[in-house]
Amino acid sequence: MQLEAMDGNNKRARWMVGAALTAVVVVVVTTVLILGGRNVGGAPATARVWAAVASFRQGSIDLSSSPPAAARHDDRLYNGLLTDSFDEESCHSRYQSAMYRGKPGRRPSAYLISKLRRHEALQRRCGPGTTAYSNALEQLRAGSMSTIAPPECAYIVSISYSGLGNRILAAASAFLYAVLTDRVLLVDPSNDMDDLFCEPFPGTTWLLPPGFPVANYTGFGVDTAESYGNMVRNKVVVESGGVADAASTAGRRLPLPAFAYVHLHNDATVEDNYFFCDGDQRLLRRVQWLAVRTDSYIVPGLFLVQAFQGELDRMFPERDAVFHHLGRYLFHPSNHVWGLVTRYYDAYLATAQQRVGIQVRVFGAQPNSPELLEQITSCTQKQKLLPELRLATGEPTPPPPPVPASRARSKAVLVTSLKSWYYEKLKSMYWEHAAATGEAVSVHQPSHEEYQRSGARSHEHKAWAEMYLLSLTDVLVTTGVSTFGYVAQGLAGVRPWVLYKSTNSSAVPDPPCGWDVSMEPCFHKPPSYDCRLKQWTADISKDVPYIQHCHDLTWGLKLVGRNK
Ligand code: GDP
């Protein structure tokens, strides 16, 4: 009885919510049609309605002052980057994220889109559950040696370790390599990689199924005998480092194992880094299974391989948008994480006129740093990202704003950090003092986990939600050399203001920050062996016009939009 009554109440409540939503949509749609003559950038009516509803959800429709509804981004497939063939319920973020973004971001090239669709077909044809996959596993179990040119279905397993930002950049790098070499990408599900993201490829899984026959592969390291570097050193493969061309030596038909481990962690040896050489890539094509271990964004290294350059140029005519596209294509928060993102965004960030993200990467044992706080305030105020304080300039307290707070210009600041101290200080500053511009500044921090606890589920959920929330801000300030910030800036499509590392921990660097040269992540440990010249080099990027050193790590490399 009671259950039935509750059921009746629930139905009524649902009906009332439904009726209220319908009324809202009718009002919004009518508003859009009435305002139809205003600048809508040629967007079709349905898109305008979609954008208006999106704006309404975000509370950003203010008929007196807000820009036309269509100013909000309305292409939920990111200009064709995503395919329409998923069940929306399985992954809300995939088709909803675009309406949370202030700017649409860069447009993917038609060639990239066609490569992605072709790659999706490959993942389906050769992925887990197919006969091709079972056969390939058989070859691996049997330890077969191969002399034939590239097998029909080949695989790369991305090992998931280290912090979440590292894992995301590693998987994105492995994916680009997979696209370039026609390999199926399989992601090792460790560290909650199976729980944080939706599946990116329709009709198949990107997760490596249980029972992978290579024992302890997740624990492989620089000394592992199966690593490509050690195979080179032990002469299991003879052609390497660009020293000889695979097609022109006696070793041309040398049998190769079905499996090789590619060690690109930051202790990689010179032989491991032969991975970035053309001759070695020709050899690796014949190895059916690769497992790669990296915690870095190795993509700039792939741009050093001559054989890949033509394809990369066609896929990414804008070289500074590689991770931007790969990230938006691959990493969709799972429904649980998306709930964390949207509830927070809707509650604290949606109504502000501008959102400023500040990522403060700190480490557990590090004391709170007044110098870093000063660096953050000095950077944000000098660059006019946040207003100066009225009292700090010695002026009298201003009169209350002439308009209600809800109509005043407002900024919402999203602080992400393992500690709450920086957030508390910033929040107090803008509460205790008026902004010189009269703006209302609110400061928010979703969590402060105190210590990095990679692999702990709820910690990982929060980390991913916060990275994603940062990517929904309009302006970003980041602490350098952090993959957490790199992921946010790439997904956002925003060049961050990077807080320079102080050489003297008790002094604030001058200038406190600089606008990064591109939104691309930095490759922290690039190779220093020039395969073409067959010699060591201090600057591997010198002949590549669109790769330059990172501001936040001088020996690191990053892709830039214009030639250096
Ligand atoms: P990196 O170490 O700065 O390159 O970034 P990673 O994301 O790879 O690793 C840092 C890890 O520490 C994150 O993945 C989180 O687990 C945790 N962490 C660091 N900063 C934050 C933060 O601001 N918020 C949350 N929730 N977790 C953080």
- Those residues with Cβ within 8 angstroms of residue 301's Cβ, 6 or more apart along the chain or in another chain: 275, 276, 523, 526, 527, 557
**Nearest atom, ligand 1, residue 486 CA:** 4
**Mean pLDDT lowest among 206-210, 314-318, 332-336, 450-454:** 450-454
For residue 191, report the distance from its CA to the centre of ligand 1, in Å.
13
Spatial contact of 284 and 275, defined as CB atoms under 8 Å apart: yes
Query: Do you know the residue count of the chain?
Result: 564
| Residue 165 per-residue DSSP state | H
User: Ligand 1, atom 25: nearest CA belongs to which residue?
Assistant: 463
The four Cα atoms 236, 242, 243, 246 give a dihedral, to 10 degrees, of 60
- Those residues with Cβ within 8 angstroms of residue 252's Cβ, 6 or more apart along the chain or in another chain: 246
Nearest of 288, 241, 296, 244 to residue 266 by alpha carbon: 296
Share of the chain above pLDDT 90, in %: 71
- Ligand 1 environment, Cβ below 6 A: 162-166, 361, 416-418, 447, 449, 452, 454, 459, 462-463, 466, 482-484
User: Ligand 1, atom 3: nearest CA belongs to which residue?
Assistant: 482
**Nearest atom, ligand 1, residue 463 CA:** 26
- Those residues with Cβ within 8 angstroms of residue 410's Cβ, 6 or more apart along the chain or in another chain: 351, 352, 353, 354, 439, 440, 441, 442
Looking at the DSSP bridge assignments, the partners of residue 505 are none
Q: What is the pLDDT of residue 238?
A: 67
Q: Is pLDDT at 408 greater than 80 in this prediction?
A: no
Q: Beta 529-530 vs 557-559: how paired, if at all? A: unpaired
pLDDT digit string, tens, across residues 45-102? 333 333 333 333 333 333 333 333 333 445 899 999 999 999 999 999 999 999 999 8
Q: What is the pLDDT of residue 308?
A: 98
Spatial contact of 476 and 455, defined as CB atoms under 8 Å apart: no
Higher-confidence position of 31 and 471 = 471
Spatial contact of 350 and 99, defined as CB atoms under 8 Å apart: no
Q: Which two tokens stand for residue 121?
A: 């077909």
Could you identify the residue written with the tokens 């009554």? 5
Phi, psi of 184 (to 5 degrees): -80, 130
For residue 165, report the distance from its CA to the centre of ligand 1, in Å.
7
Write down all domains in the chain, each with its CATH number in brackets.
2-74 (no CATH), 110-330 (no CATH), 335-559 (3.40.50.11350)
Q: Which two tokens stand for residue 246?
A: 């695979």
For residue 463, report the distance from its CA to the centre of ligand 1, in Å.
6
Q: What is the pLDDT of residue 465?
A: 98
**Mean pLDDT lowest among 148-152, 168-172, 530-534:** 148-152
